[in-house]
Amino acid sequence: MTDPVVGLVLEGRYRLEERLARGGMSTVYAATDLRLDRTVAVKVMAEHLMHDPSFVERFTREARAAAMLSHPNVVSVSDQGSDQGLVFLVMELVRGRTLRDLLQARGRLTVAEAFAVLEPVLSGLSAAHRAGIVHRDIKPENVLIGQDGVVKVADFGLARAVAGTGQTSHTGGVLIGTVAYLSPEQLERGKADARSDVYAAGIVLFEMLTGHPPFGGDTPLAVAYQHVHHDVPTPSEEVPGLAWQVDELVARTTRRDPVVRPLDAGAFLADLEDVRSDVGIPRVPVPTGRSSAGPDTLRPTNRPTRPRHSGPQRHPSDPGDGTEVLGAGRSSRGSRTSMLPGMGAGPTTDVAGARPTPPRARPGVPDHIRRRRARLAVAVVLLLAVTIGAIGWWFGSGRWTTVPQLVGLDEDAAVGQLQEAGLDPDCCEEVFSETVPAGQVIAAEPAEGDAIRGTDVRLTVSKGPERFTVDPAWVGRPIDEVRALLDEAQLPLVFTEVQDYDQTVPAGSVTGFDPEPGTDLPRNSAVTVFVSRGPAPVAVPNVVGQSADAAQDTLEQLGFTVTRTTGRSPDVDTGEVMAVAPGAGSEAAYASTVTIQVSEGLPRVTVPDVRGQDADEATAQLEALGLQVEVDTFIAGSTVRFQNPGGGNVVDWGTTIRLLVTI
């Protein structure tokens, strides 16, 4: 059936030419960029997912994040949009095949070929991890091998929704990967970081070396259970002859505890290069699966050669004359005859039916030859006796040796002791220890005692104390940002936040840690995070009676902002502070505003008109206003007839008012 999407032009620029691949989440088309006249790949989101706004939003957001990556081993993303009801992503078109296609055709790869594929994968992943992007779905289907041998990682940071067969999702239904390659922390907690990609890349390495993933099962749940509860087996169990360093590399990158894995893809790549150097693995071209038979022909390797005929095959130790030794003494070739050992005295029968040839008479043997044969027989008997005795000694006690005392020795010394004892060192599992110095043997299996010669003795060597540090660069950053960094770092430390005043660090930012940042700390150590509440409150000093300038300097030195008002006071001289707000002795926020009231001298009073009033009443009214009263009596009387200054005049507080009292 013709794909109805083929032929559409999206956003007037991308003409979809042919469908390349289709999955449950999206369909990939080869397309022509009409603006730049180039061929690109366009990934179109599946129709049933385009109606989910949360999925479309995640698709758009994470596509933009992937577009920020620029690396030769990452499929580049150049555009994203929606048109004609289609949500799409424009990517680099890689002509070639996936690593899955190669493994299906080849069965498995050699160590050199596996390293040649994995190195560019880790290089691309390392660039992503440095950019803060976690792939979350590393698997052979997402590793593209171009016709020119360039390896690229696809589907960086692309969101997925609705888990399908062999896949898992966390809360909200957001797909986070394929079960066969998911790390235990993704399966248990739905969280992934760079070490989760390291785990998946280690699983891919195992599959390239053996031809299949380490865990299988009838259901995705069965596979997930094995990832969480079982260690990945060593590849050499299925591919004898692999160097132990390769086994150790697979084991180290697929530890169930992410803390003991390489920190990111860059660390994995460094370990891989160390193994290449130690073992002497040659650099070979990336296998593209193509041969001279044609551009689309896979070149099978590492598969058993199919027999050319169904008859019995000659073993390299069989006679080279075209006959086979059979239990009945008859050749399977049908052209010659053969006898089992010990049957040489009897006649032989020709396959063609000829009569048997009579046996020849045994000629006489000279005496000197008989004596030589007798001596040879005695020597053979003695040799057999010695051999039988040696074999008996070996199976009795000679095959046993004593495992020497190894605990406490340096790794090199322990290996030397085992080799001298005729035992093979299986070196070495490294673990952290708070008591045993780094490089010393913690345990051996079998332990001190007897063991068969040639037995592998597994050594466990100390890595020294396990320590973690808090980054000093986190001091001064907002607490919300530091919390996010702590979640990302997943430090196994116990953090407690304490609010504290700080004169220099803004409120809500981290002022420090206890112990100090950069200190080496054991697992589960308690760390206090000090968070600024801003500057501490400041007590307002008593500046009443000081000059206005002196009072302002005092307050500004304490961090206050000073404003001035004026007033009048009979008790405070002109230019001096007569009041402060907030009041002296109270606490005010650092950098808050303090108001001082500066005296302009005595208060001013408006003189009331008291004429016609009783002299005593007038005197009381004037004195209540802070005025002085002088009464002059003319003749006899009690009524005020005249005042100076007169009513309505404004005078200083304390001014004397003269009253004339008469009848």
Catalytic residue set: 137
- Say which amino acid occupies 395: F
Residue with tokens 């008989």: 370
Q: Provide the token pair at 551.
A: 């009072």
**Rounded distance, CA 104 to CA 318, Å?**
36
- Say which amino acid occupies 283: R
Confirm if 612 and 582 have CB atoms less than 8 A apart. no
Q: What angle do CA 472, 477, 480 make, to 5 degrees?
A: 120
In order, the DSSP letters of 42-95 are EEEE-GGGTT-HHHHHHHHHHHHHHHT---TTB--EEEEEEETTEEEEEE----
**Rounded distance, CA 204 to CA 138, Å?**
8
Sheet holding 526-532, edge to edge: 494-500, 526-532, 510-514
Q: Which CB contacts under 8 angstroms, 24+ apart, belong to 230-234?
A: 231/255, 231/256, 232/202, 232/203, 232/206
Confirm if 404 and 448 have CB atoms less than 8 A apart. yes
Task: Output b/e per residue, 483-506; b: 16+ Cβ within 10 A.
Answer: eeebeeeebebeeeeeeeebeebe
Confirm if 111 and 209 have CB atoms less than 8 A apart. yes
Strand 167-170 relative to strand 174-178: parallel, antiparallel, unpaired?
antiparallel
Beta-bridged to residue 498, according to DSSP, are 530
- Say which amino acid occupies 467: R
Alpha helices in 190-289 (DSSP H): 194-210, 220-229, 244-253, 265-279
DSSP code of residue 180: G
Confirm if 301 and 284 have CB atoms less than 8 A apart. no
**Rounded distance, CA 461 to CA 449, Å?**
19
Closest Cα to residue 199, out of 255, 117, 120? 255
Closest Cα to residue 62, out of 10, 140, 136? 136
Confirm if 106 and 287 have CB atoms less than 8 A apart. yes
Strands (E) across 95-192 are located at 96-98, 143-146, 151-153, 160-161, 167-170, 174-178
Q: Is 77 exposed, middle or buried (0-12, 13-18, 19+ CB in 10 A)?
A: buried
**Rounded distance, CA 121 to CA 138, Å?**
9
Distance of CA 512 to the CA centre of its chain: 26
